[in-house]
Amino acid sequence: MSTKDTRNPCIGACRFGADAECRGCHRTKAEVKGWKRLSDGEKAAINHRIQAQAALETKPSDGKRLRKLDRKIRKLEAKLSALKAERETSAGAALSRAPPEGGIVPLRSTTLRR
């Protein structure tokens, strides 16, 4: 069984720029035209090149999205810190009310008056 990616990378957004590369799938005009005639090895090589190129490219919207995610993470970290502090405070208060080791609770001496 072959593990080569030979799928057609076309996304249906064909627009060729001055560099003769499709803006949608990043193949050259010759690669688009001759795709069906290419061998599986050639198709896999083209797909590998496209994936490597896509990994290097960052869109301006990616930076904005990353900044937004970073802000959300900082807010969540601040909230987590506050919750941890609240838990420690609650745990400390619970420990001060907890019975001593061994589970024996001293009784208060009370005298019965008749």
pLDDT tens for the chain, 114 residues: list them.
457 888 999 888 888 888 888 888 889 999 999 999 999 999 999 999 988 887 777 666 677 888 888 899 999 999 999 999 999 988 887 776 666 666 665 556 556 565
Q: How far apart are the C-alpha atoms of 27 and 37, rounded to whole Å?
A: 15
User: In this structure, what token pair is assigned to residue 92?
Assistant: 């400390």
Domain total for the chain? 2
Q: How far apart are the C-alpha atoms of 60 and 84, rounded to whole Å?
A: 36
Which domain range does residue 29 map to? Answer: 7-58
Single-letter amino acid, residue 37: R
CA 61 to chain centre: 16
- The residue behind tokens 């869109």 is 59
Rg over CA atoms, the chain? 33
Residue 14 lies in a domain: yes
Q: How far apart are the C-alpha atoms of 33 and 24, rounded to whole Å?
A: 15
38 shares its domain with 13: yes
Residue 16's DSSP bridge partners are: 22
Asked if residue 44 lies in contact with residue 30, where contact means CB atoms within 8 angstroms, the answer is no
Residue 22's DSSP bridge partners are: 16
35 shares its domain with 66: no
